[in-house]
Amino acid sequence: MKTQTLSDEYWLACSSCKKTVVETQSYTTCPWCQQSLEVKYDYERIAEHFNVHVMKTAPMAATKYLDLYPLANLRRVVSLNEGGTPLYRARKLEKQLGLKRLWIKFEGSNPTGGFKDRGSLVELTKALELGAKTVTCASTGNMAASVSAYAAVAGLPCYIIVPEGTPLGKMAQTLAFGSRVVQVRGTYDDAVELTTGLSRMDGFFLAGDYAFRLEGQKSQSFEVVEQLGWRSPDLVMVPVGNGTNASAIWKGFKEFEWFGLTDSLPKMVAVQPENVAPIVKAFNQNEPLEPVVKPQTVAGAVCVGNPSDAHKLLAALRESGGSAATASDHEILEAQKWLAKTEAVFVEPAAALNLATLKNMLDAGQVDGSEEVVLVMTGTGLKDPTSALKVLPSPPSVEPDLAEVQKLLDYNYYKICADYNGSQSKGALITQALFEDQLLALIQSEFDVSPSKADVAFCVGEVNGFLEKGKHLTKNDLKLIVEEALQRGRLEYRALDILDFTVKTAKTQKPEATAKVRVHGKEVEKTAQGVGPVDAVINAVKKTVEGELAFELVDYKVAINTKNTDATVDVRITLEDEKRNKVTTMGTSPDIIVASIKAFQDGYNILYAKNQGFSK
C-alpha cells in the first residue's frame, strides 16, 4: 500500500543511536534504544517544489507549510485553521522591564487555546495516513483538549488519560469533544506509561509528544520570522515541559534559514518552574538529566518530571548558544496578573512562567536590555481560571444599594485578594489576641483597606473566637472576617439574634439540639432533632422563628479553607421566602455548627428585611 512506504522526502531516525526507523514500525520511540525519534528531510528534494513566493505572500496559517511536514498523503488533512496567531509588541512591558524590544507570540488564539493544535494537525493527519482506528493520549490537559478536537474531526474514537485534578477548562474541552477520559491518581508520567501500554496491548494510535507532533509545532517559528519581516529575533523564550515545543521551534528557525527566509538564528531559552526544572538543571550544570519524582507546580502544563525530548532540547540549547532559567510558582502567578493588566494578554500559568523568568534573567543580568526577545505564550488563561483566581481579588457581593457599593469603594474593599501563600500551610497571620488598634493596623497593612471602628470591633470579637478555640488565623481567615464585618453593618433592624445552642448526640438516637435566640427582642428557646448535629441545630433555630416568615432553606454548601490543622469552614446558606426573595450568606468558623448558625442568622435577617421592604 502506498501509504505504508516511506516518502522519498522524509524518514524517521533515532535521536540517540541515529538508526533509521520505518514509520509503520514505530513513530514514537526507537525500537532499539527507546529514545525519542526525529523526522529527517531531504531538503534538496523539497526545494525542487518549495515555493518561496507563495511562502512570502500567502496568508499565515499552519497549513501553508505542508511542504515542510512529513505527510505522504495530502488528500485528507485534519485541520481546524490553526496557526496565524498574533505577534504583539509589548511596549508597556518593554518600558517596565528596561528592554529594547519585546514580542508576545500569543498561541492562546489557536482553535483549542494553545500551540498543540499545530502539532495535532500533523499528528492526526498521520494517524489517518497510517490507518489508525482509535487514538489514545496522556496529557496534563492541553494535549488532551487538542488531540480530542482533531480526533473528533478525523472521526476517530479517542481515549485520554490525565492526572486527577486536571484544570477545569481543559477537562471541559476534552469531554465536550467526545473523548473517553480516565483520571489517574498519579502524575503525568504515570499517564504516559498507561497510554503506552494501551497502544501496545490494543493497537491504539499513540498521540502525544512524539516526532510527528514536533513537525507541526515548527510553524510557530515560521510565523515569527514572517511577522518580524523575514528575520529572526535575538532570543526566543519557551516554557518547557517535555521539551518538544522548544525543540520544534528551534528546528523551524533552522529550516527557514536553510530556505533563505531568514539569515540569522535566535538563541533559544528554555524556561521551567523552580520546582520542576530537570532540563534547566541538566543544562546549567552540564550533567545528565535527573528526573523529578512527584513534580508539583502551579504551571500544570509544564509539570513534567521526566521530559521525553530532553535530549533534543539540550542539543538545541547548546547549538543555538542559548540558556535556561526558572521562576517560582508565586512569581508565575504574579506575572500572569501583570501581563494581563499591562498588555491585556491573559495566559495560563505555564505561559506566564515565561515572563516571570524573563524578569528574573534581566534582574540577574543574564539577558541584556538591548536584545530583542520573543516570548512564546503557549496557552490561554481561560483554561485554568482557578489558578489565576488564587491571586486575583475576590469581589464582594452587595445588595443593589448605592450606599453599600459606596462603602466598599471607600474602603478599597474591591482590592482584597485571597492570599495564595496563606492557603498553604505556612501562613499563620494571627497567633495571639490583638487590641482594636493593632488589628486595624494589621488589616490596613495586609489588605490596604480601613474598616470603621464598629467593624474592627466586630473583627476583634471574631478573631478572639478563633483563638479561644485554639486556632491560628491565616490571611484568608482574616479576609473572610473583614468581609463579614462589612456585610453585617448593613442591617438596621435585626429580627433574629442567636444567643446560644447545645447539641446532644447519642449512639442510638438522632442528635437533638436546643437553640436560644432573640426574635424581635423576645427570648425564645426551642428543641429539635436532625439527621446530624448541624441539621439539628438549624432545625431548632428554624423552630424559634416559626410563623414569623414563610421561607425555605434552598441551598447549603460547605467548603474547607485550609488543609492543615488550623482548618476553618465556610458555610454558604441560601434562604428563599414566599415572595421569591433569595438571600445567600456565608459564615466562617473553625466549627461547622458555628459557621452554619452565623450564615443562617445573617441570611434570615437580610431576608426578613427584604420581605418587609426595609431593604431594596
Ligand X SMILES: *Cc1c(COP(=O)(O)O)cnc(C)c1O
Write out the residues near ligand X by the rule CB under 6 A. 114, 116, 142, 209, 239-246, 301-302, 348, 350-351, 378-379
Which partner, Zn ion, ligand X, none, binds residue 350 by CB below 5 to 8 Å per kind?
A: ligand X
| Nearest distance, CB of residue 139 and ligand X, angstroms | 8
Which partner, ligand X, Zn ion, none, binds residue 171 by CB below 5 to 8 Å per kind?
A: none
120: amino acid identity, one letter: S
Site string for Zn ion, 227-246 (x = CB under 5 A): --------------------
| Nearest distance, CB of residue 243 and Zn ion, angstroms | 17
- CB of 539 closer than 8 Å to CB of 567: no
Which partner, Zn ion, ligand X, none, binds residue 306 by CB below 5 to 8 Å per kind?
A: none
CA distance 603 to 551: 11
CA distance 21 to 42: 16
CA distance 234 to 54: 26
Which partner, Zn ion, ligand X, none, binds residue 14 by CB below 5 to 8 Å per kind?
A: Zn ion
CA distance 392 to 49: 52
Site for Zn ion in 30-69 (CB under 5 A): 30, 32-33, 35
Neighbour-count burial for 579-612, b at 16+ CB within 10 Å, e otherwise: eebebbbbbbbbbbbbbbbbbbbbbbbbbbbbbe
In sequence order, what E strands does 164-290 have?
A: 180-184, 205-207, 235-239, 267-273
Nearer to ligand X, 301 or 430 (CB): 301
Which partner, Zn ion, ligand X, none, binds residue 52 by CB below 5 to 8 Å per kind?
A: none
| Nearest distance, CB of residue 172 and ligand X, angstroms | 16
| Nearest distance, CB of residue 211 and ligand X, angstroms | 13
By the rule CB under 5 A, 414 interacts with Zn ion: no
Which partner, Zn ion, ligand X, none, binds residue 240 by CB below 5 to 8 Å per kind?
A: ligand X
CA distance 220 to 72: 22
Which partner, ligand X, Zn ion, none, binds residue 251 by CB below 5 to 8 Å per kind?
A: none
Nearer to ligand X, 309 or 334 (CB): 309
Which partner, Zn ion, ligand X, none, binds residue 351 by CB below 5 to 8 Å per kind?
A: ligand X
Nearer to ligand X, 376 or 463 (CB): 376
DSSP H helix total and E strand total for the chain = 21, 19
Contacting residue, 17, 58, 74, 558, with Zn ion by CB under 5 A = 17
By the rule CB under 5 A, 499 interacts with Zn ion: no
Nearer to ligand X, 83 or 114 (CB): 114
Nearer to Zn ion, 17 or 74 (CB): 17
By CB atoms closer than 10 A (0-12, 13-18, 19+), residue 1 is exposed
| Nearest distance, CB of residue 307 and ligand X, angstroms | 7
Nearer to ligand X, 137 or 261 (CB): 137
Which residue from 350, 355, 302, 237 is spatially nearest to 292, judged by alpha carbons? 302
Reported residue count of the chain is 616
Residue 507's contacts (CB-CB under 8 Å, 6 or more residues apart) are: none
Nearer to ligand X, 163 or 243 (CB): 243
The residue range among 11-19, 115-123, 389-397, 546-554 that interacts with Zn ion, by the rule CB under 5 A, is 11-19
| Nearest distance, CB of residue 210 and ligand X, angstroms | 11
Nearer to ligand X, 147 or 575 (CB): 147
| Nearest distance, CB of residue 280 and ligand X, angstroms | 12
CA of 582: how far to CAs of 16, 576, 578, in Å?
A: 66, 4, 10
Which partner, Zn ion, ligand X, none, binds residue 241 by CB below 5 to 8 Å per kind?
A: ligand X
Q: Residue 274: how many CA atoms within 13 Å on its side-chain side?
A: 10
Which partner, ligand X, Zn ion, none, binds residue 244 by CB below 5 to 8 Å per kind?
A: ligand X
Which residue from 341, 328, 356 is spatially nearest to 97, judged by alpha carbons? 356
By the rule CB under 5 A, 14 interacts with Zn ion: yes
Q: Residue 152: how many CA atoms within 13 Å on its side-chain side?
A: 18
Helices (H), 137-187: 142-154, 168-176
Neighbour-count burial for 225-259, b at 16+ CB within 10 Å, e otherwise: bbbbeeebbbbbbbbbbbbbbbbbbbbbbbbbbbb
